[in-house]
Structure 1
């Protein structure tokens, strides 16, 4: 049996978030493996209420961890690095990253009580790391966080380039510029497959440089008569610096608010990727600065409930209160799915009288992902034998595959769990593995199919009834049934309290139930649940979730 080169996305293909991609080389079902990225996605109240984080389901990788050589992290965004501290103990292999990303990864390992020394710092291309049959190099690329990298993955079957998240920015201000000559040189001897970011495949115009937003932001800040607050992705160190410099040039004191933003800036300064960052003041000192001389840089650009932006919109944060005539700038793009949270904050700010500026004009934010013309340019530079779209919803992957096919390059859509064989002249589906989601719920990991979140959603949609009954030693009811209601209206269609109607129907059932039913807990609970749901349906048009508690005197 001949050796083969495989690619298997476990997260990040068919969705945006929780990236996790497996590459393997060797005989079928014996391939030596590497994992590229191990990220998270974020929950929302509609689909995963109460959940803290969402991880890719890596059970297949756990089952085959004796074949796993290493993990490689392309950059420090949460959807690529966020699960490293949570999942490392299940994998137990070295984790390789560049200096800035490694710094963030060590913090995540420490936060979870995991050994920091397993995070190994590597230099950029042409340095390579050997991992079983693979040689892996970090190829610098511009993105919205410093030291982002594509991966050059060499195997006996040929060279693969995993693009990671990227844009073609030759003046990114912080981090390395895109170097087309370097990419041409890396691709000169032939590239079997380009595994490529698809996020902005529907954006028809060439991407703009980070350098383009600085003058626009500076003009906006200079023209503001009162306090200015700006929010962006905490990890977009270049944008945070641009905002801070604009405020400094406008004669304002700069204050960072939000743990994530402070940690990112500290990591960037410590690792040397960020230099000459403007002096900042503490929130305590900011409270005494005249409003017209103050600029706050805050977390919460995606509407996060606990972040600084949301707390300022609700009233006060760190002693600072917004007032009518202040300016609030969203120097960021709203990630699909986060619109409601962002709009809620905008409306709360509007009620205060704060003037809100978002990115609808395109002046104050540039994306960290390559637009359609930029993807085509990279295809031409790399000239791969095949293009495999990743990092996008299904519609993004499909459109990206069409672009590649139209240019005569083999391409295929591979969503999570689809294993591709890249050995031949074109990608070929060679199998499927079970994938899904794992939720971090408080301090516990739960499966998406465990029913916990499903029950939580049902209670949120339908309310809850607790039914209590008491039986004596002879299995006869003692008194009436009594109920407790949660999330249900007090009055029903019969113009009587819902609680009274339920208790009446349940007590009537107890009075006519046979001895066999009263002796059998399961049967009794089932009947009481059925009556509670049916009565609720008749009274309020809903069938709530029902918990039955049967107590017996011994």
Structure 2
């Protein structure tokens, strides 16, 4: 009996939405040859990761086993699937495979960080395949909200795995391939050991809607507008961007694309032949010579990103363009959970300008790129796997998807980040756990979650900061009184005296009472000064700030 096994190990994307990274392995335990599916990012927020630029999965386990990594396969060009490939290239150094459009986006990312573009290989669609160690992998076209998305057919000595990637069952996606049920049914005929499946919309009870349903409503809305029209959507939703542009042209408006991501996606679509008929557009500078009621701006920032075009237009001007009373702003997008406050802030800022804001609450101007509950059931039936492994979702999504699979007579198993499953037998078995977490891009530096940088930044944001400076002479006696610098704290405390003066007095009293043993010991003195400063702040403000003590000695 062979001791070799087939394993599945999510490092990101299982138990959360974002920063997808899924490992498959085949071979003897601890010696499996590996492939990685997707390597994406998540975006920071002020509550959990202030000041951070990007976040991706902790790939420490993969780096420790990088000599076993055969290849990386990218299902599509959304940031949560491709956004970290360039940032992790130095560590992994594995060949990257993707379809034409996705490969174009990946190469752009590699070029931005100075990595060779030939690391990314363009792959053809199924039935062509790629050999990677014991794996034979094919890109199976599927509809989604970005061109040339693909599921993966992963053939192994232990059986076939189908990894759906993100998908929807759209017969008319407007750009890119329509969902082909016959093709997906065909790959299941020889038997599928496991379907690793998108879980995002498992709680949505109705079948998903087609992208084709959005166009007529957007055209009607834009045609009825009197002032300038601005619309935002996901820059990667090329079909929607084209629909918005065509609505503007039909209404007799000049179209302007604002935002680097928006322009980059359209450029990539044209370069790769995904788009052949995108309307001509004006630059922001050219638009200033066009009457405002003849303009249609399509802008980035559908999720309330502070630096994106939407947010800047809401605050004031962007590239010389400004919204005024009577203009129309359309959110042709769904707000991702966690971004609600940022989006509402923009809506309120636009409202204060007298701008009419239309969002997706009516369901008329946006359709999801993910399969709803009935669509997932249809996918289960088409592929007919022995077991279903939910991915791409929070824990509640994974759990509900596993229940859905079991209700259909299939095995369902929840495997969150770090859970290694052995798929070799007739049922999935937990084969172990690995440490997982997050890697933060802070400026240009990669920071681990356990490094404490983000934790300390949050603590300072919550509690404020005090710097205490003390000078001691050659005899280890205080030279003058200590002084404090406060950041992020109220100036006046409950005693109605300046907080800095109260704190400096308390610290000075402590120094005057301290014995030589304390004054000669930097560690003991620092600990005591921190305690006094925090006690004073607690008494005056009701909170304890972070404290840094600087001790200078005259020698």
What is the Cα deviation at residue 315 of structure 1?
0.1
What is the Cα deviation at residue 354 of structure 1?
0.4
Q: Deviations over 1:363-398 (max 9, x none)?
A: 000000000000001101111111000000000000
Q: Deviations over 1:104-144 (max 9, x none)?
A: 00000011111111100010000000000000000000000
Question: 1:216 is paired with a residue of what secondary structure?
Answer: helix
Q: Distance in 2 between matches of 1:141 and 1:427?
A: 26
Q: Distance in 2 between matches of 1:437 and 1:375?
A: 29
Q: Distance in 1 between matches of 2:497 and 2:387?
A: 69
Kindly report which structure 2 residues correspond to 1:146-161, keeping only aligned pairs within 5 A, or say none: 146-161=147-162
Question: 2:86 is paired with a residue of what secondary structure?
Answer: helix
Partner of residue 214, structure 1: 215
Q: Which runs of 5 or more residues in structure 2 are unaligned?
A: none
Q: After alignment, is 137-146 or 519-528 more displaced?
A: 519-528
Partner of residue 407, structure 1: 408
What is the Cα deviation at residue 355 of structure 1?
0.3
* 8 Å Cα contact 1:301/1:309 also seen in 2: yes
Q: Deviations over 1:242-267 (max 9, x none)?
A: 00001111110000000000000000
- TM-score of the two chains, using structure 2 as the length reference: 0.99
Q: Distance in 2 between matches of 1:387 and 1:238?
A: 31
Partner of residue 68, structure 1: 69
Q: Distance in 2 between matches of 1:499 and 1:26?
A: 65
What is the Cα deviation at residue 187 of structure 1?
1.3
Partner of residue 476, structure 1: 477
Q: Distance in 2 between matches of 1:461 and 1:56?
A: 26
What is the Cα deviation at residue 148 of structure 1?
0.1
* 8 Å Cα contact 1:411/1:426 also seen in 2: no
Question: 1:218 is paired with a residue of what secondary structure?
Answer: helix
Q: Distance in 2 between matches of 1:428 and 1:242?
A: 47
Q: Distance in 2 between matches of 1:396 and 1:219?
A: 36
Give RMSD over aligned pairs: 0.6
Partner of residue 280, structure 1: 281
Q: Which runs of 5 or more residues in structure 1 are unaligned?
A: none
Matched, 1:369 2:379: no
Q: After alignment, is 180-189 or 353-362 more displaced?
A: 180-189
Q: Distance in 2 between matches of 1:3 and 1:483?
A: 64
Matched, 1:427 2:428: yes
Matched, 1:228 2:229: yes
Q: After alignment, is 358-367 or 186-195 more displaced?
A: 186-195
Tell me how many residue pairs correspond in the alignment.
554
Question: 1:84 is paired with a residue of what secondary structure?
Answer: coil
* 8 Å Cα contact 1:174/1:238 also seen in 2: yes
Q: After alignment, is 511-520 or 389-398 more displaced?
A: 511-520
Q: Distance in 1 between matches of 2:364 and 2:543?
A: 49
What is the Cα deviation at residue 338 of structure 1?
0.7
Question: 2:146 is paired with a residue of what secondary structure?
Answer: coil
Kindly report which structure 2 residues correspond to 1:146-185, keeping only aligned pairs within 5 A, or say none: 146-185=147-186
Q: Distance in 2 between matches of 1:428 and 1:245?
A: 52
What is the Cα deviation at residue 297 of structure 1?
0.2
Partner of residue 203, structure 2: 202
Partner of residue 521, structure 2: 520
Partner of residue 245, structure 2: 244
What is the Cα deviation at residue 452 of structure 1?
0.8
Q: Distance in 2 between matches of 1:106 and 1:359?
A: 34
Partner of residue 307, structure 1: 308
Question: 1:506 is paired with a residue of what secondary structure?
Answer: helix
Partner of residue 379, structure 2: 378
What is the Cα deviation at residue 425 of structure 1?
1.4
What is the Cα deviation at residue 219 of structure 1?
0.3
Q: Distance in 2 between matches of 1:552 and 1:269?
A: 66
Partner of residue 83, structure 1: 84
Q: Distance in 2 between matches of 1:493 and 1:122?
A: 67
Partner of residue 12, structure 2: 11
What is the Cα deviation at residue 152 of structure 1?
0.3
Q: Distance in 2 between matches of 1:403 and 1:185?
A: 23
Q: Distance in 1 between matches of 2:389 and 2:480?
A: 69
Q: Distance in 1 between matches of 2:552 and 2:31?
A: 56
What is the Cα deviation at residue 291 of structure 1?
1.1
What is the Cα deviation at residue 188 of structure 1?
1.2
Q: Distance in 1 between matches of 2:188 and 2:528?
A: 70
Question: 2:191 is paired with a residue of what secondary structure?
Answer: coil
Q: Distance in 1 between matches of 2:123 and 2:551?
A: 62
Question: 1:139 is paired with a residue of what secondary structure?
Answer: strand
Question: 1:85 is paired with a residue of what secondary structure?
Answer: coil
Q: Distance in 2 between matches of 1:529 and 1:224?
A: 61
Q: Deviations over 1:181-216 (max 9, x none)?
A: 111111111111100000000000000000000000
Structure 1 consecutive aligned stretches of length 4 or more whose deviation exceeds 3 Å: none
